Structures are given as C-alpha cells and as structure tokens.
Amino acid sequence: MRNDDDFKFVTIPPMINSLFDDIEHRILSPLSCLREFDNQWVLEFDLPLVNKKDIKVTFDEDTINVEAKLNEKYSEKQIGDVTKFEYFKKSLSLPEKIDNKKTTAQFQKGRLVIKIPKKVIGHQVKIT
Amino acid sequence: MKIAKYNTKENTLLVGFPSNGLVGTFSVSYLIHHLKMKQIGEIEMPDLPLTLFVEEGEILSPIRAYNKNNLFVIISDVPFDQYLAEKFALAINEFCKKNAIKKIVIVSGMETVNQKKGNPKIYGLVTHSTLDGLLYNNQISKFLNGSIFGTDAAIISVFRKTNIPALVLYAECHPFFPDPEASIIAIVTLAKILDVEIDTRDIENKIDKLRIQHRNLMKETIQTLQQQEKKTRTPQIYR
C-alpha cells in the first residue's frame, strides 16, 4: 500500500500568482472562461473540491458573482507560509446585460457551466 | 502498485510540455515518478527567461532530461511562444542525435468544445508511416483532419524532415482548464506504447487537488497558446 503523499509532481510553479488568491480570507480565485456562440454566452468556472449545494451564483445586469465552499480545506504554500483555503470566489463583468429569466446553470465534474442567452435588440430590416 | 520491466529495445524519447489541459505536463510527470527515472541533465535555451525552482533544497531547471534503460524523457515546465517553440524543437533534435534516439513520442491535449459524456478519446499523428503500426497495434485512432499550432507544430515540422519518426498523442481535454482526467487516458496509452505497467490510482485520487494546484500554469499556458493562435490561424473574418 502506497502512502498518498508519495506521489508529487515535480513541476515549477509560475513565480507570480496571476490569479490573486486572497490569502488573508482563505479564498481561491477559480479559473474561468467565457465563450461566445451565435445565440448565447457560455461561462465556465472550474470548481474542484466543491459540492453543488455549496455554490452560490448571483448577478446584476452585467456582472456575475460565484462563491463556493470547498468540501475540504486545500493547503498550499504561498510566500513561504502554508495557507488552508476554504472558498472559491470570483466576480466577472459580462459583455452585455443578462436576461436573468433565461440564464441556466449546470454543475458536473467540478465544472460550473452558466448559459446566458443573448438579448435580441433591434429592428428588422426590410429586404426589397 | 506494479511496474513491469521496461523492455523496448530502441531508444525512445518522450516529450511533455504545457499545452491544452496540461495533458503533457501531468502524464509525463507521472511516468517519470512511477518509473523512478533519474534526471540526467537540463536543456539550455539561451533565450528562455531565467527561471529556476528550488524543491527541498534541490535547484531545478524548467526543462529537464530523464532516463531509465532505453527510455529518455524531456519535460518542460514552461509554455513556449512561437519563437521558443522552434528553439525547443531544435534542442530536442540535438538531444536525439546525441542519444541515438530512434523514435519520439509527444503527449499533448486536443481541445474539445463539446465534451461528450464518457471517457475522452485519444488520437495519434505520425510523421513517418513506419509508426502507423504503433497506432494500429495499440488501437489509437489516427488524427485525420484538423489544424495544429504551437509547440506541437514546431516539433512535427522539425522531425518530419529528419529520419527520426515522431508520434504525437492527442488526448481530448477541456481547452481552458487543467484536465488530469484526460491525462489518465494518455498515461494508459503511453504505458501500452512503451510496454510498461502503470497504476493510475495515484493521479485518480488527486484529480481535484491537481486542478487547483495548476491554475496559474494553465492560465500562463492559455495566454501563450492564444498568442500563437492569433499568429497562425486564419483570421475569424475569413471563416
């Protein structure tokens, strides 16, 4: 039987934490991506170590906020000290206003997928 | 945990670097660890920004070479822009000449926008038809259509002009997030190709933590890949 700690990746982490984790409040910044399709925006958050019931998604007209509690503390050595992170949190500005009645969210395999239909605003052009 | 003896006769080089899903990073690191390979050197590239890492008192270079029996490994912990990708490909070629390498295997990720349910698939692309049998014998689907850019393309471009055949393994993965799950498919396929036995339970147990641990490297890799993509792909307006 192997000890769980036996296996460790020897990879060099980037020198700068470009994701700006909040060490003081033990909050991790999750990876996210926004993809544009013809009729909708698809916004994804990578939320490993999280249960669906512990995710909170809120939004106003053009900003979305995602908060989630980890199902176990995640320890990481940053700036010499070990920090035990407990949460994910991120706010993102969206390229256009959200139609909150049509926005849907799914959580599978630690990935939160939010689908935001595009608002159709404008006038029809008559073709002669 | 069982590790069978490595019995492939030809010198083979395995190459891993950060790309889609960090598939190469995860799978090659895992093999180095599980085969208990020894570091035999570092690959120096003059234009690479000076970066060193200290791991429990040991100074590590970002591009390292490992060996065990007839298997050699080059692994990079830093993603490459287009210029450095070409330098890296040429450095691999030099390494192959010095170590009488007969074939190289590169592990990378293939972006899948609409991930279907079930296990991710793996595809193989070979530079020389002599490696077609390797695909067939290991039931690896041939990569038939698509575009390749970045470090994979740089290595393929160099090796298709040499007499050293290269096989690129592409595991379907999430394009923007670390994907250790896709790496497991790559590890299993590599184990068959290299004729070694690898237990994947260690990585399976650490999938979630690896995803958190490698967020910054993933972000850095995506930024580098997107710079390369802008330079090499047809502009959106022409699609």
Confidence band, pLDDT 50/70/90 cuts, at residue B157: very high
- Residue A101: the pLDDT is 79
Is B68 an 8 Å CB contact of chain A? no
Q: Residue B51 in 3-state DSSP?
A: coil
Tell me the C-alpha distance between B205 and A11, whole Å: 18
Contact B218 A31 (CB under 8 A): yes
| Residue B236's pLDDT band (cuts 50, 70, 90) | very low
| Residue pLDDT, tens place only, A37-88 | 888 888 999 999 999 999 999 988 778 899 999 999 999 876 678 889 999 9
* Domain annotation covers residue A6: no
- Predicted local confidence at residue B116, as pLDDT: 58
Chain A residues whose CB is inside 8 A of the B208 CB are 48-49, 110
Cβ neighbours of residue A115 closer than 8 Å, sequence gap 6 or more: A40, A41, A42, A43, A103, A104, A105, A106
**Contact (Cβ atoms closer than 8 angstroms) between residue B221 and residue B18:** yes
CB spacing of A31 vs B33 below 8 angstroms: no
Q: How many domains does chain A have?
A: 1
Pairing state between β B122-126 and B141-142: parallel
Interface test with A, best of B56, B75, B112, B177 (most A CBs within 10 A): B177
What's the pLDDT band for A98 if we cut at 50, 70, 90? confident
Task: Identify the structural domains of chain B with CATH numbers, from first to last.
Answer: 12-233 (3.40.50.10900)
Report angle CA B13, A9, A110 to the nearest 5 degrees: 115
Q: How many CB pairs under 8 A join A and B?
A: 88
Q: Which residues of A touch B (CB under 8 A)?
A: 2, 4, 6-19, 28-31, 33, 35, 44, 46, 48-49, 74, 76, 109-111
pLDDT for residue B1 is more than 70: no
Q: What is the DSSP letter of A5?
A: G
What average pLDDT does range B50-58 have in this prediction? 76
Evaluate whether residue A88 is within a structural domain.
Answer: yes
Which of B34, B177, B212 lies at the smallest CB-CB distance from A74?
B212
Range of the domain at A38: 21-117
* Interchain pair B212, A110: CB under 8 A: no
- Rounded to 10 degrees, the C-alpha dihedral B83/B88/B89/B92 comes to 170
Residues 6+ apart with CB under 8 A from B67: B37, B38, B40, B73
User: Does some domain include residue A2?
Assistant: no
The kind and range of the H/E element at B219 are helix B215-232
Distance from CA of A28 to the nearest CA of B (A): 9
Q: Whose structure tokens read 């950060």?
A: B18
Structural contact between residues B135 and B126, judged by C-beta atoms closer than 8 angstroms: yes
Mutate to test the interface with A, among B75, B77, B215 (most CBs of A within 10 A): B215
How far is the alpha carbon of A75 from chain B, nearest alpha carbon, in Å? 9
Contact B202 A6 (CB under 8 A): yes
* CATH number where A111 lies: 2.60.40.790
Contact A19 B219 (CB under 8 A): yes
Residue of chain A minimizing CA distance to B61: A12
pLDDT-derived band of residue A3, with 50, 70 and 90 as boundaries?
Answer: very low
**C-alpha B24: how far from chain center:** 3
Q: What is the mean pLDDT of residues A9-34?
A: 73
Q: Distance between CA A78 and CA A26 in Å, rounded?
A: 11
Q: How confident is the model at residue B104 (pLDDT cuts 50, 70, 90)?
A: very high
Whole-number pLDDT of residue B119: 75
Which amino acid makes up residue B16? Answer: G
A17/B205 CB distance under 8 A: no
Give the long-range contacts of residues B98-103, CB within 8 A, separation 24 or more. Answer: B99/B11, B99/B13, B99/B72, B100/B11, B101/B11, B101/B12, B101/B13, B101/B72, B101/B164, B102/B10, B102/B11, B102/B12, B102/B164, B103/B10, B103/B12, B103/B13, B103/B131, B103/B164, B103/B165, B103/B166, B103/B167
Tokens 């039987």, residue located: A1
The b-or-e profile of A22-51 (16+ CB within 10 A means b, else e) is eeeeebbbbbbebeeeeebbebbbbbbbbe
Q: Is residue A76 part of a domain?
A: yes
| Chain B residue closest in CA terms to A37 | B113
**Cα A30 from chain centroid (whole Å):** 5
Query: B142 CA to chain A: closest CA distance, Å?
Result: 28
Q: Is B203 on the interface with A (CB under 8 A)?
A: yes
Nearest CA to B94 out of B34, B155, B145, B7 is that of B155
With respect to residue A122, please indicate whether it lies within any of the assigned structural domains: no
Q: Given strand A32-36, what is the order of strands in its sheet?
A: A32-36, A40-46, A111-117, A104-108
pLDDT single digits (tens) B170-196: 999 998 999 999 999 999 999 999 999
Inter-chain residue contact A10 with B26, CB threshold 8 Å:
no
The C-alpha of A110 sits at a distance from chain B's nearest C-alpha, in angstroms, of 8
Q: Do A14 and B62 touch (CB under 8 A)?
A: no
ipTM: 0.83
